[in-house]
Structure 1
Amino acid sequence: MTATQTLQVGLVSFGYAGRTFHAPLLQATPGLQLAAVASSQAEAVNTVLGADVSVVPDAAALLALPLDLIVIASPNDTHHPLARDALMAGKAVVIDKPMALDLTEATELVALAARQQRLLSVFHNRRWDGDFLSAAALLQNGRLGRVVQAALYFDRFRPEVRQRWRESAAPGGGLWADLGPHLLDQALQLFGPPVTLQCELASQRDGAVADDWFQARLGYASGLRVLLQASTLAALPGPRFELHGTLGSLRIWGLDGQEDALKAGQRPDPARLAQWGRHPGHAELALPQAGTPAELQPPQSLALQQGDYTRYYAGLRDALLGLAANPVPPAEALAVMQLLDLGRASAKAGHALPVTGLAIPESAMPAAT
């Protein structure tokens, strides 16, 4: 591949993830061309994406095309077999989170990608949320001092159980598999590997057949404690991020707005990215007064950074062209899978479990912008 080459991309599935995230982001990334989609909804695909995008009936037909990259946005229980087939066909592969149903499946894919000498990456897009980037920047510049307590929340109010695979009792369903990867990945990027994990899973809504609430507590050798929590019955959501350190505290309110913008049909324009990803929430920062660490200044407003999910696909393009590192390398995705499995085991056992063999490079944290 050359640095000026336009890479041909195929997308498996035009469901929620494919239609809302992957298709528009691929089309907004210079150097990538969404050439084909595997879907039974040919008319819907062409209506949304245009007639220039070919539609084929299934993944097998997609893999027969001369494509450089296959993006898998299908239900979670299909990730492993589809990624395996794509790697065997000599394609580079992106998998929507979670990477697979469990660590065993994920490890098999990483080994296969190494044997095939093909790039494998996982779409952990919440690394490019404006709130996450703002929290990361504050940690990097040390303004909070040594962080001793943190909480990451993903609150929603969705009281009706919908008939879809994400909320089913089938393998890959449930909120832990859906939002757990986001919060675990963000915690690993911000704080590194924990030494213990305790997880609770619950089904709280009337008629729920899969977990729709979770709380995970990560313990660190430094004494840091990190709470991860997601809910479908939070009509009054709490903060998205809450960090407390020896020099002050940070609270960030509101979810990054990129998903809602994409759902509404808005698209990032490569020529006007300054207009994209503005966070609709707000942040409060409490720091000591100069010279009097025991007395706090009045809480000050902190400007939130802009999010930009296109940075994932721009990084992936550059990785395929040999110009940059994989934006989400397999080792980091495996760490998330290990904690997902451990969380299920902890919930079943009813107590905290030790985390062993987890290592995330310090360079994993996205650079502040």
Structure 2
Amino acid sequence: MQRMNCALLGFGYAGKTFHAPLLEAASDVELCMIQSSRPEAVHAAYPGVAVVADMHAVLANPAIELVVIATPNATHAPLARAALLAGKHVVVDKPFTLTVAEARDLVALARAHGLLLSVFQNRRWDADFLGLQALCAAGELGRVVQFSSQFNRYRPQVQARWREGAGDGAGLWYDLGPHLIDQALLLFGVPAGVTAQIRVMREGGLSPDWAHVQLHYPDKEVQLHASMLVSGGEPRFAVHGLQGSWIKYGLDEQENQLKAGVVPGGERWGLDSGESWLMTAAIPGRRHWKLPAGNYEAFYPAVVAAIRTRQCPPVTALQAVVVMAVLEAALQSSRLGRTVVPQLEENERLAFSAEGR
């Protein structure tokens, strides 16, 4: 079958580290164009790929079927809108947009034009999250009553880059919040309420670099935490159920592997070296819970298959709307100092259920 021609907008951290290598690794995708202001960097890494200075050359090219947007957060919505209006299928790096209103506008536009619209929620294919899903499916923990998910880094010095600047869409919550939220929604669905504190902790900080968010459910509590000031010691996941607990340390290895130039899907790709401990009432003591390999390279083949068969992509646009609604509710909660209920339409509430897909 003919490979799908794809263009990548942006060759910054996300484009260079994640999207370009994963697109190159996908056997059914032809990465044939990259929009970047740094052509020398693109040519050094991908000498056979055409480089253009702006997106107009991409949108005017009838051979391009899929456009991947890996530009600064504030540009996601306008670029996605332009690509959809040009008749292109679109994948947007997280966060989908800056607001729920923008997200809904894009969903309606994609639906009206019969085009695929998806969001790159790669952390669904983290080794530890895949292992957690298997753990829950096996019933090892029983009903989960307490769930803690932390995504921490240690960068005490503020860096001069847009992600840490004062612009719209900057800050840790827009950067890591979509990952934390998406994983929680996949496991537990839409929360009844959101209570959050989102703050600037570092000296000279221009945007939030610390977030503590509580998702409230009738039968459980979910804690999501992100910080730029944790140098170690905290578990990535701590999950407690009526029949046992699971504790996992360390982040998934795939991002570091991509940064080191490891080819996706190769030997030892996605293997997680972090400690993974299961403790259950049925078996005394703690035991190692083996994790599957991470699988970021599954995303783009699934996108292509969805386009060709007109089926649901691996991350649906409605799911991305719900993530934005919870992200926005957390920002509002932090600002107002009270619990906020995510405002969702009925079809959006079903987005993370089997019938909603």
TM-score by length of 2: 0.96
1:156–1:237 contact (8 Å) kept in structure 2:
no
Alignment of 1:1-369 (within 5 A): 4-50=1-47, 52-65=48-61, 66-221=63-218, 223-269=219-265, 272=266, 275-289=268-282, 297-322=284-309, 324-357=311-344, 358-363=349-354
Cα drift, residue 184 of structure 1: 0.2
% identity of equivalent residues: 44
Please report how far the alpha carbon of residue 275 of structure 1 lies from its aligned counterpart in structure 2 after TM superposition.
Answer: 2.9
> Could you tell me how far apart the structure 2 residues matched to 1:298 and 1:364 are?
40
Residue 108 of structure 1 and its aligned partner are, at CA, apart by 0.6
Give the letter aligned to residue 280 of structure 2.
L
- 1:144-179 C-alpha deviation (Å, 9 max, x unpaired): 001100000001101110011111111010111000
Q: Flag structure 1 segments of 5+ consecutive residues without an equivalent.
A: 290-295
CA deviation after TM superposition for structure 1 residue 356, in Å: 4.4
Is the partner of 2:354 in helix, strand or coil? helix
Q: How far is 1:308 from its partner? A: 1.0
Tell me, yes or no, if the aligned pair for 1:194 and 1:219 is still in contact at 8 Å.
Answer: yes
The question of whether the paired residues in 1 share the 8 Å contact of 2:97 and 2:103 is answered with yes
How many Å apart are 1:352 and its aligned residue?
Answer: 1.0
Q: TM-score, normalised by structure 1?
A: 0.93
Letter aligned with residue 337 of structure 1: M
Report the CA distance between 1:40 and its aligned residue.
1.4
CA deviations 1:33-64 (Å, max 9, x no partner) are 100000111111011112x1000111111111
Number of paired residues?
Answer: 352
Shift of 1:325: 2.6
**Unaligned stretches of 5+ in structure 2?**
none
Which secondary structure state, in structure 2, belongs to the residue aligned with residue 14 of structure 1?
A: coil
Q: What is the CA distance between 1:265 and its match in structure 2?
A: 1.5
CA distance in 1, matches of 2:59, 2:135: 44
Distance in structure 1 (CA, Å) of the matches to 2:15 and 2:199: 28
CA drift at 1:323 = 7.0
CA shift digits 1:92-121 (9 cap, x unpaired): 000000111110111111111011111000
